[in-house]
Amino acid sequence: MTTPQHKVLIFSTADPTGATHRQLEAAGFELVFGKSDVNNPLGNTEEGLRELAKGCDALVGTSIKGARITRKVMEASDRLRIVAKYTIGVDEVDIDEATEMGILVTHAPTEANYGAVAEGCVGMMLNILKKSRQRDQWVKEGGWRDDSLLSTYVGRREDGYPGITIGLIGLGRVGGRFAELLRPWRARVIAYDPYIEQSRFDQLGVERVDLDTVLKESDVMSLHIVLNKETYNMIDARELAMMKPTAVVINTSRGGVINEDALADALKENRLSGAALDVFEQEPVDPENPLLFLGDKVLVSPHNIAMTPGGGIGPGIPWATESVLKALRGEVPDNVYNKEVIPRWIERWGKKA
C-alpha cells in the first residue's frame, strides 16, 4: 500500500453525502475527522484538535464552537499549509497567528450563503415591524382587529410620511444585499463601515454615516460584521443607550458582537423595542439565556438563517475542498482571507517551475 501524499483534518463535517471526502481520498489524501458537525458545533476541544492536526497539511470544515483553531492547534504540524472554511466566517481561526506562521486561511463567501442571510434579515425585520406573530396568536385566540396590533409602515409615502431609517453596521456582502433588497421600499438606509469605499455606498443608494449616527437615528439597526478583537462586544450598554426606545436590533452576524446581558437589560427596561437574533455568543444557546424569556420582544432562530435547500453553506463545501486541493498542489486558491501571507506562502509552498 502506498503512503498517502498528504493528510487532511476535517475538523467539522458538513457533507452528508461524503462526496468531497471521497474527492480528497481519490487525490491520495489521508483523512481524519473532528468530533463536531454542521448541526452540532460542539465536541472538539483545543487539545483534541491539536492531537488530530499532527502531521496534517490542511485543516478544513465548517464552524466550530467547542474550541478554536489557535496557534497551538496549527503548531501541531510543521507541514500545515491551509485552513479552509466552508463558510463565510473565519472567526474561530486565529487569523493573525496563521498569517504570522505563513498559513493560508480561505473562506467561501457564496451567494447562496450571504444572499440567504440578507433575505432572512428582511423576513425578521418584517416579522417584528408588522407584528405577524402577535396578530396570528390574537386571531387564533378569538380576537379580531385591535389598535394594539398596528404595524410599522417601512417606506416613505406620497402623503408626506417619511418612512423609517434602517441603519446597517457593515456594508459587505450581506449588508450590501440587504440594502439592495430594501431599495424598492423607499426607506432611508444609512450605514457605518470604515473599510468600504464610497463608491459602494453610492452604488447601493446608502448614506454613509459614523457609528454614533447609526445608533442615534436608526429605527431598525442590523449588524453585518465579522467577529474579531475589534468587534467583540462592539454594541455594549453605552451604544444601546444611544438608541431610540422604539428601535429594533437585528443580529445575524455573530453573537459576540453584542453584549447579550446589556441587550436583555435594555429590552426589559423598555429602552429598546425589540430584537431579532439568529446568533448567540454561546451556541447552542444556553436555555437560561435571559433573551429567551422576553416574549414577543425577541425573535430568535438557531443560527440557520442561511440554510435553504441547495443553498446555505452547501456550495461552500466543494469550494473549500477545491481550495485544499489547489494549496496542496502548490497553487494559491482564489478566496484567501489573509491575502498578505500569499507572497511568503508561495516562496515556501508554491509550485516549482
Cα 249 to the center of its chain, rounded Å: 16
Tell me what percent of the chain is helix, strand and coil, each rounded to the nearest 5: 35, 15, 45
Spatial separation of the C-alpha atoms in residues 127 and 59, rounded to whole Å: 39
Same domain, yes or no: 270 and 345:
no
Task: Report yes or no: 303 and 283 within 8 Å, Cβ to Cβ.
Answer: yes
306 assigned to some structural domain: no
- Of 50, 107, 173, 303, catalytic: 303
Task: Give the HSE-up count for residue 315: Cα atoms under 13 Å, Cβ half-sphere.
Answer: 16
Same domain, yes or no: 173 and 80:
no
Q: Is 92 tagged catalytic?
A: no
pLDDT tens by residue, 231-270: 999 999 999 999 999 999 999 999 999 999 999 999 999 9
**Structural domain range at position 210:** 111-300
Same domain, yes or no: 205 and 152:
yes
Give percent of the chain above pLDDT 90: 91
Q: Is 329 tagged catalytic?
A: no
Task: Report yes or no: 282 and 258 within 8 Å, Cβ to Cβ.
Answer: no
Q: How confident is the model at residue 118 (pLDDT cuts 50, 70, 90)?
A: very high
Same domain, yes or no: 294 and 317:
no
pLDDT at 353: 38
Query: What is the pTM assigned to this prediction?
Result: 0.88
Same domain, yes or no: 134 and 253:
yes
Domain count, the chain: 2
1 assigned to some structural domain: no
pLDDT at 170: 98
Task: Report yes or no: 276 and 248 within 8 Å, Cβ to Cβ.
Answer: yes
- Of 254, 260, 281, 322, catalytic: 254
| Helix H or strand E encompassing 238 | helix 237-241
- Which residues are bridge partners to 275 per DSSP? 249, 298
- Of 25, 180, 207, 283, catalytic: 283
67 assigned to some structural domain: yes
Cα 75 to the center of its chain, rounded Å: 27
pLDDT at 177: 97
Same domain, yes or no: 116 and 106:
no
285 assigned to some structural domain: yes
Same domain, yes or no: 279 and 158:
yes
Same domain, yes or no: 84 and 21:
yes
pLDDT tens by residue, 289-332: 999 999 999 999 999 999 998 888 899 999 999 999 999 999 99
Residue 218 neighbours by CB distance under 10 Å: 26
Task: Report yes or no: 151 and 131 within 8 Å, Cβ to Cβ.
Answer: yes
308 assigned to some structural domain: no
pLDDT at 352: 62
Backbone angles phi, psi at 8, to 5 degrees: -125, 130
Same domain, yes or no: 145 and 253:
yes
**CATH code at position 272:** 3.40.50.720
pLDDT tens by residue, 22-72: 999 999 999 999 999 998 899 899 999 999 999 999 999 999 998 999 999
Q: Is 254 tagged catalytic?
A: yes
307 assigned to some structural domain: no
Q: Which three cell numbers stand for residue 175?
A: 449588508
Same domain, yes or no: 76 and 207:
no
Is a pLDDT exceeding 60 seen at residue 1?
Answer: no
Same domain, yes or no: 154 and 270:
yes
User: Which conformational region is residue 308 in: left (phi greater than 0), alpha (psi within -120 to 50 degrees), or beta?
Assistant: beta
Same domain, yes or no: 127 and 29:
no
